[in-house]
Structure 1
Amino acid sequence: MTKTNTLLPEVKRDVLKNVLKTLENKFYKPELLGATWQDAVSTHRGSIEDAPTTDAFESEVSNLLQTLKTSHLGFFHGDARRASSRAALSATYLLTDTGTHGQRWVFQDVHEGGAAATARIKPGDILLAVDGRDIAPPEHPVFPMGKTSELVVVGSDSAKRTVSVTVARPKGKKLQYVEPTLVIAKTPALNIGYLKVAMFPGMVGVDIANAMSAAIRDLGAIKGLIVDLRGNTGGGAGSLRLMSLLTDGKIPVGFAADKKWAEKDLSGLKGSFPRFDSIPEKSQFLWLLALRFLPTLITKSPVVLETEGLGAKPYHGRVVLLVNRHTASAAEMVTIFAKENHLATIVGEPTAGRLLSATSAKVGHGFRLALPTGAYYTWNGTALEGSPIEPDYLEEFAWEERRDGVDAQLAKAIELLNV
């Protein structure tokens, strides 16, 4: 199916019916599906059923889903061959007034090793065009996967340049992104370590957990640590290792509850929930983990994350977390855990406020619906969805300085640790 193919009316009606049924059965917050939602469905139904192409149908259904005003919602066809810069380029951007070029997307986070970094795109570069098309807000740039795109950008010298970016490479039936360097460790100042984590791939995250532990060991006897989670859009349970590296003991972190459990008063129940408190050292031990949590699959009980008790580290009590508007999901779990337990000072911008557990479901005719199925709660009872985490020290992204190599947020972190 191509993006310009027409869809039969009965196909569109059937898919929409399945979307609505799936939301009714699995959506994490049933109260959002009340009268206002039903009115939205009635209002949007005509434009959805009249959509002339697959692409237009996707867009109209997505417009309906946006009325729920929650993260982790998406609608797409299974043969989609396009991706956002965040996913395909390992880069993020923000909308800003650039003066000469007007309102534009400016690159904010460019993860080392990713497609954008490989093309020598830098934070602060202005995006002007993709594959010959002028791109300006509110239109978000998307990139054909498995191909090379031509981007026109403006760097610190104010000159336009064209760069070639390979956004994804096919591998069998799957499309693999150019993965960034996941963990970077260095010493930006005397006795201060720096740990950059780009994302937490994998459901359990054995590899990323081992990589973070190895990086901390390699930093040696540092007396202060900067953890950079800027542009980290989350992932899986590997984030537990980072939280465990911030404290010596075993501390309950939080849990996700689906709509069935969210309707209950969990304050008196959370102590009885099973606990995930150790990431296996090797992937071949994952079957033991699956066996341990088999009863949970039956009861669908929430599982409490608890730090692993890795022992004291010389930098404990002197940690700064760098975050920004693109810090989301599992990276926000780390941030709020550190904040609530007074384990780190938070520097940067308010986080994304996108912290839900999610899944995707087939809704017929090759279409899939991504939807949130559970809300995340910290051990203290904080629910973060829609509520960005405020930094202790607000240090906004200054794109003109950043393009000249000045990282004011990192400089602030070093200053705090040198006091």
Structure 2
Amino acid sequence: MMHSLSRLLIPLLLTPALASAAPAQERPELAGNWLVRVAGPRPLTTVLSLDERGGVLTPRAFSWQQTVVPTSATRTDSGLVVALTARGVESALDVAVRGDSLRGSWRAAGQAPRSVSGMRLPRETLAPLTGTAVFDSVVGVLQRHFFDPGYNGADWAGLVAEARGRVAAASSDGEAYAVISGLLRALGTSHLGFTPVVRLAAPPSANTATPPAPAAPAPSVSWQVLSPSMGYLRIASFSPSGAALMPEVMRMDSAFAAMAGLPAIVIDLRGNEGGSVDLAYRLGQHLSARPVPAGYFVVRRGFDSRGMRSAAALDPATIPPLPSDGSVSGAMLTGAVDAAGGAAMLYIGGGIARPYTGRIAILTDQNTGSAAEAVAAILKESRGAVTIGERTAGAMLSAADVMVAPGWRLRYPAMDFRTAAGVRVEGNGVAADVPVPPADRAALLRAAAQALRVPAP
């Protein structure tokens, strides 16, 4: 499932201090792969690849699902300026390069300038993409494990043959990366991306500095009693798992304890890009007295063994169930579905002495994705929830990660998902029953109160 953007970008483990200033008459060497970190409330880290031929710079960014897209690069006396879009916003990177370090500023439309630091990556950090070894590894994983044997209707064999020839002829990592990314985009599916994972093993020295520890993440679950008639539950992410899960479960339990007597609650999933089933299990327990079918997953084996081209061919009544007690964690989900024969029904609910029985509204926007939009679809079916805001992202598949070469990670969709009624969220999203501009919280809450038949707070 879809993870939040901050967890899928390249981790920055070491940040170099500036090298000694180069002589004024020397033009800095720019070609290569650069680790770039943009500071700020939403830090952004990516790898920028620069090719230079005949004095012309060609920039490319190695980023998750083309979050960062350079359009041009211009050399300056001290470094370069790169025009790009980042997270859909027009931006400019203006940096000075000294040796193998860079430093400067990031300017985006409507935002204050942000500081930038970075370093040229040693050649051994990332396996070279030129040649076909890494390309063949990517293709091999998808041919074995991509959930859909029909590759979402694409001419997979033809696409691979054409792309392989272009990768074999590529003269730089950036050029080869563009070809591989284009091949993945041609499949037209979510949860599919090829990104670097940079791990610098060299110990700190006079030329390096250990970055400060990251700030503790904000809680995923928060709540507020808005009035005697309506409560508000905010779930910013379903990503917490492992040791981070229990504090969020406790917050969710406290929220429902505080709102137990209210006739209606609003669940805010705006901007929630998904995560795992772990926290969603607990939400389901609070909203249903007994386990109810929520939706089913199908892995490649389920398609192949049944000779299916679509999960719509399955009769939901014949699909074996997964345990409803939360014992199958998000990390175990794909294995459990495979062990069940390649298809399995997820059940939610039960396990809470007094679940919440009042009316429910769900706030959504176009960034409500993956597990979050699955929750919205499931609660519409199982609890009659009304959705308010915008249609969700339409990006609901379950993903897996694999390292395909030193420094390179492939994320691919390993399972298809349908609701218990057979509705496919991927590519469609969940429509808003009451369309409202998603940024207007007051208007959303007024619309929710009207839909839930309670006084507006």
Query: TM class, shorter-chain normalised?
Result: 0.5 to 0.7
Q: Is 1:224 equivalent to 2:343 in the alignment?
A: no
1:276 equivalenced with 2:323 (yes/no) = yes
| 8 A contact 2:321–2:347 mirrored in 1 | no
Give 1:341's aligned amino acid. S
**Aligned equivalents of 1:220 and 1:45: distance in 2?**
59
Contact 2:324 2:346 in 1 (8 A): yes
Distance 2:156 2:337 in 1: 32
- 2:405 alignment counterpart: 364
Kept in 1, the 8 Å contact 2:127–2:407? The answer is no
Q: 1:343 to 1:220 in 2, by over 3 A?
A: same
**Contact 1:256–1:375 (Cα < 8 Å) also in 2:** yes
Tell me by how many angstroms 1:27 deviates: 0.4
The Cα offsets for residues 272-315 of structure 1, whole Å up to 9 and x where unpaired, read as 624221237xxxx98xx98x99987655544432123235546x
Aligned to 2:426: 385
Displacement after TM superposition at 1:216 (Å): 1.1
The structure with more radius of gyration: 2
In the other structure, the counterpart of 2:238 is 200
CA separation in 1, counterparts of 2:127 and 2:255? 55
The answer to whether the 8 Å contact 2:299/2:337 transfers is no
Partner of 2:76: none
Task: Assess, with a 3 A threshold, how the Cα gap between structure 1 residues 8 and 364 changes in structure 2: closer, same or farther.
Answer: closer
Query: 1:21 maps to which residue?
Result: 140
Offset at 1:53? Answer: 4.1
Aligned residue type for 1:307: I
| 2:378 aligned with 1:354 | no
Kept in 1, the 8 Å contact 2:297–2:337? The answer is no
Mapped partners of 1:295, 1:409: distance in 2: 39
- Unaligned residue ranges in structure 1 (runs of 5+): 82-145, 148-168, 171-175
Report the CA distance between 1:228 and its aligned residue: 0.4
Retained in 2: the 8 A contact 1:74–1:369? yes
1:358/1:374 contact within 8 Å kept = yes
**Equivalent position of 2:10 in the other structure:** none
**Alignment partner, residue 443 of structure 2:** 408
The change in CA–CA distance for 1:412 and 1:25 in structure 2 (over 3 A counts) is same
Alignment-mate amino acid for residue 351 of structure 1: T
Listed as ranges, the matches of 1:20-59 within 5 Å are 20-32=139-151, 36-59=155-178
User: 1:184–1:196: 8 Å Cα contact kept in structure 2?
Assistant: yes
Unpaired runs of 5+ in structure 2? 1-31, 35-48, 50-120, 201-209
Q: Within the alignment, does 1:321 sit opposite 2:321 as a pair?
A: no
| 1:360 partner SS | strand
Flag the 1:294–1:51 CA change in 2: closer, same or farther, 3 A: closer
Provide the identity percentage. 26
CA distance in 2, matches of 1:220, 1:317: 9
Which residue of 212, 235, 244 maps to 2:252? 212
Kindly tell me: are residues 394 and 298 of structure 1, through their superposed partners in 2, closer, same or farther at Cα, counting changes over 3 Å?
closer
User: 1:250 Cα shift?
Assistant: 2.0
The TM-score, its normalising length taken from structure 1, stands at 0.65
Shift of 1:349: 0.4
| Aligned amino acid, residue 158 of structure 2 | D
Alignment of 1:68 onto 2:108: no
1:49 CA displacement: 3.8
Q: How many positions carry a matched residue from both structures?
A: 315
Q: Is the 8 A contact 2:195 2:408 kept in 1?
A: yes
What SS is found at the alignment partner of 1:358? strand
Q: In the alignment, what sits opposite 1:183? A: 221
SS of 1:332's equivalent in the other structure is: helix
Q: State the AA in 1 paired with 2:236.
A: A
- For 1:209, give the aligned amino acid: V
- Partner of 2:150, secondary structure, is helix
What is the CA deviation profile of residues 9-41 of structure 1, one whole-angstrom value per residue up to 9, with x for unaligned ones?
785310011111111000011112776233333
- 2:374 is aligned to 333
Give the match for residue 78 of structure 2: none
Deviations along 1:364-395, one digit per CA (max 9) or x if unpaired, are 23212110011012122222211111111111
Given residue 62 of structure 1, which amino acid in structure 2 is its aligned partner? Answer: S
Q: Helix, strand or coil: the match of 1:275?
A: coil
- Cα gap change, 1:35 to 1:278, in 2 (>3 Å): closer
Contact 1:191 1:224 in 2 (8 A): yes
1:241 to 2:282 alignment: yes
Distance 1:187 1:16 in 2: 53
- Give the distance between the partners of 2:249 and 2:318, measured in 1 at CA: 26
1:359 deviation in Å?
Answer: 0.5
Which amino acid is 1:254 matched to? G
Cα offset for 1:407? 3.5
Amino acid paired to 1:208 = E
